[in-house]
A and B are shown apart, each in its own frame.
Chain A
Amino acid sequence: MVQKCNGGRLTLDAIRTTPFHSRTAPLVRGQGWRRWAGYVVPTSYDLIHELEYNAIRGTAALIDVTPLFKYRIRGPGAAPLLDRVVTRDVARCKVGRVLYTPWCDAEGKVLDDGTVTRLEEQDFRMTSAHPNLRWLHQNAIGFDVEIEDETEAIAALSLQGPAAREILMGIAEGESEADVEKLRFFRATAARLGGIAATVTRTGYTGDLGYEIWVANERAESLWDLLIDAGAAHGLLPTGLLAMDVARIEAGLLLIDVDYVSARHALIEQQKSSPFELGLGWTVAKEKAPFVGQRALEAERRRSPEWAFRGLVVDWDSLEALFGEVGLPPQLPSAAWRTSTPVYDAKGQVGYATSGCWSPLLKKYLALAHLIGTHAGPGTELELEMTVEHRRKRARATVVETPFFDPERKRA
Chain B
Amino acid sequence: MSAGRHDAIVIGSGVEELVAAARLASAGLGVLVLEAGDSVGGPAASGEVLPGFRIDPVFPDAGFLDPRALRDLALESHGLALLAPDPILAAPAESGEPLVLRRDLERTRASIAKRSARDADRWVAFAETMEAFAGILEEASIRPPVEPAGPLADLAPYLGLGKRVRALGRARMTELFRVLPLPVQDLLDDTFEDDLLKGALAAGAVRGIFQGPRSPGTAFVLLHHHVGNPAGVFGVRTVVRGGTGALVEALASAARERGVEIRSRAPVERILCEKGRATGTALTDGAEIAARAVLSGAGPARTFLEWTGTTWLDPDFVHAVRMIRFRGGSARVHLALSEAPRFEGLPDTPPGVIAIAPDPDSVERAYDDAKHGAFSARPVLEARIASIADPSLAPPGRHVMSVDVRFVPPGGSTGNGDGSSREAIGDRVIDLLEERAPNLPGAILGREVTLPSDLETRYGLTGGDPFQGELGLDQLLFMRPVPGWAGYRTPIAGLYLCGAGTHPAGAVTGASGRHAADAMIADRRRNR
How far is the CB of B467 from the nearest CB of chain A, in Å? Answer: 24
Q: Which residues 110-159 of A have a CB within 8 angstroms of B?
A: 135, 138-139, 141-142
Task: Determine if A292 and B276 form an interchain contact, defined as CB atoms under 8 angstroms apart.
Answer: no
Q: Which residues 331-345 of A have a CB within 8 angstroms of B?
A: none
Is A411 in contact with chain B by the CB < 8 A criterion? no
Task: Determine if B318 and A138 form an interchain contact, defined as CB atoms under 8 angstroms apart.
Answer: yes
A135 to B316, CA, bound (A): 10
A292 to B322, CA, bound (A): 18
Interface string of B102-113 (1 = CB under 8 A from A): 000000000000
Task: Determine if A141 and B311 form an interchain contact, defined as CB atoms under 8 angstroms apart.
Answer: no
Give the residue of A106, A135, A290 whose beta carbon is less than 8 angstroms from that of B311: A290
Q: Which residues 70-107 of A have a CB within 8 angstroms of B?
A: 84, 105-106
Give the residue of A84, A138, A290 whose beta carbon is less than 8 angstroms from that of B276: A290
Is A393 in contact with chain B by the CB < 8 A criterion? no
Task: Determine if B318 and A141 form an interchain contact, defined as CB atoms under 8 angstroms apart.
Answer: yes
Is B310 in contact with chain A by the CB < 8 A criterion? yes
Q: Which residues 138-193 of A have a CB within 8 angstroms of B?
A: 138-139, 141-142
By a CB distance below 8 angstroms, the chain A residues around B316 are 105-106, 138
Task: Determine if B276 and A106 form an interchain contact, defined as CB atoms under 8 angstroms apart.
Answer: no
By a CB distance below 8 angstroms, the chain A residues around B276 are 290, 295
Interface string of B439-459 (1 = CB under 8 A from A): 000000000000000000000
How far is the CB of A108 from the nearest CB of chain B, in Å? Answer: 11
A295 to B322, CA, bound (A): 22
Task: Determine if A290 and B315 form an interchain contact, defined as CB atoms under 8 angstroms apart.
Answer: no
Task: Determine if B310 and A142 form an interchain contact, defined as CB atoms under 8 angstroms apart.
Answer: yes
A289 to B273, CA, bound (A): 13
Task: Determine if B311 and A84 form an interchain contact, defined as CB atoms under 8 angstroms apart.
Answer: yes
Is B114 in contact with chain A by the CB < 8 A criterion? no
Is B309 in contact with chain A by the CB < 8 A criterion? yes
Task: Determine if A290 and B312 form an interchain contact, defined as CB atoms under 8 angstroms apart.
Answer: yes
By a CB distance below 8 angstroms, the chain A residues around B317 are 106
Residue of B nearest to A295 (CB): B276
A59 to B354, CA, bound (A): 89
Interface string of B300-330 (1 = CB under 8 A from A): 0000010001111011111100100000000
Knowing A141-B322, A290-B276, A295-B276 touch, does A106 contact B312 (C-beta < 8 A)?
Answer: no
How far is the CB of B273 from the nearest CB of chain A, in Å? Answer: 9
Task: Determine if B311 and A292 form an interchain contact, defined as CB atoms under 8 angstroms apart.
Answer: no
Knowing A290-B276, A295-B276 touch, does A142 contact B309 (C-beta < 8 A)?
Answer: yes
Task: Determine if A139 and B312 form an interchain contact, defined as CB atoms under 8 angstroms apart.
Answer: no
Residue of A84, A135, A141 with most chain B CB atoms under a 10 A cut-off = A141
Knowing A290-B276, A295-B276 touch, does A139 contact B315 (C-beta < 8 A)?
Answer: yes
A339 to B11, CA, bound (A): 57
Q: Which residues 271-322 of A have a CB within 8 angstroms of B?
A: 289-290, 292, 295
How far is the CB of A95 from the nearest CB of chain B, in Å? Answer: 24
A102 to B406, CA, bound (A): 51
A139 to B315, CA, bound (A): 6
How many chain B residues touch A (CB < 8 A): the figure is 13
How far is the CB of A167 from the nearest CB of chain B, in Å? Answer: 42
A105 to B314, CA, bound (A): 8
By a CB distance below 8 angstroms, the chain A residues around B305 are 141-142
By a CB distance below 8 angstroms, the chain A residues around B314 are 106, 292
Residue of A nearest to B318 (CB): A141
By a CB distance below 8 angstroms, the chain B residues around A84 are 311
A290 to B311, CA, bound (A): 7
A290 to B308, CA, bound (A): 14
A27 to B488, CA, bound (A): 64
By a CB distance below 8 angstroms, the chain A residues around B310 are 141-142
Interface string of A345-362 (1 = CB under 8 A from B): 000000000000000000
Residue of B276, B311, B314, B318 with most chain A CB atoms under a 10 A cut-off = B314
Task: Determine if A138 and B311 form an interchain contact, defined as CB atoms under 8 angstroms apart.
Answer: no
A205 to B311, CA, bound (A): 33
Task: Determine if B315 and A292 form an interchain contact, defined as CB atoms under 8 angstroms apart.
Answer: yes
A290 to B315, CA, bound (A): 12
Give the residue of B309, B315, B322 whose beta carbon is less than 8 angstroms from that of A106: B315
Task: Determine if A138 and B315 form an interchain contact, defined as CB atoms under 8 angstroms apart.
Answer: yes
Residue of B276, B305, B310, B318 with most chain A CB atoms under a 10 A cut-off = B310
A142 to B318, CA, bound (A): 10
A290 to B276, CA, bound (A): 9
How far is the CB of A162 from the nearest CB of chain B, in Å? Answer: 43
Residue of A nearest to B315 (CB): A138
Knowing A290-B276, A295-B276 touch, does A138 contact B312 (C-beta < 8 A)?
Answer: no
How far is the CB of A263 from the nearest CB of chain B, in Å? Answer: 12
How far is the CB of B494 from the nearest CB of chain A, in Å? Answer: 15
How far is the CB of A338 from the nearest CB of chain B, in Å? Answer: 31
Knowing A141-B322, A290-B276, A295-B276 touch, does A135 contact B309 (C-beta < 8 A)?
Answer: no
A290 to B310, CA, bound (A): 10
Interface string of B48-67 (1 = CB under 8 A from A): 00000000000000000000
Give the residue of A105, A138, A289, A292 whose beta carbon is less than 8 angstroms from that of B319: A138
By a CB distance below 8 angstroms, the chain B residues around A295 are 276
Residue of A nearest to B319 (CB): A138
Residue of B nearest to A291 (CB): B311
Residue of B nearest to A85 (CB): B315
How far is the CB of B322 from the nearest CB of chain A, in Å? Answer: 7
By a CB distance below 8 angstroms, the chain A residues around B318 are 138, 141
How far is the CB of A85 from the nearest CB of chain B, in Å? Answer: 9
Q: Which residues 270-324 of B have a CB within 8 angstroms of A?
A: 276, 305, 309-312, 314-319, 322
By a CB distance below 8 angstroms, the chain B residues around A142 are 305, 309-310
A142 to B307, CA, bound (A): 11
Residue of B nearest to A136 (CB): B315
How far is the CB of B493 from the nearest CB of chain A, in Å? Answer: 10
A290 to B275, CA, bound (A): 8
By a CB distance below 8 angstroms, the chain B residues around A135 are 315
Residue of A nearest to B316 (CB): A106
By a CB distance below 8 angstroms, the chain B residues around A290 are 276, 311-312
By a CB distance below 8 angstroms, the chain B residues around A106 are 314-317
Residue of B nearest to A107 (CB): B314
By a CB distance below 8 angstroms, the chain A residues around B322 are 141
11 new A-B contacts, CB < 8 A, other than A106-B314, A106-B316, A142-B310, are A105-B316, A135-B315, A138-B316, A138-B319, A141-B305, A141-B310, A142-B309, A290-B311, A290-B312, A292-B314, A295-B276
A-B contact pairs, 14 of them (CB 8 A): A84-B311, A106-B315, A106-B317, A138-B316, A141-B305, A141-B310, A141-B322, A142-B305, A142-B310, A290-B276, A290-B311, A292-B314, A292-B315, A295-B276
Residues in chain A within 8 A of chain B (CB atoms): 84, 105-106, 135, 138-139, 141-142, 289-290, 292, 295
Closest 4 CB pairs of A and B: A106-B314, A138-B315, A142-B310, A139-B315
Residues in chain B within 8 A of chain A (CB atoms): 276, 305, 309-312, 314-319, 322
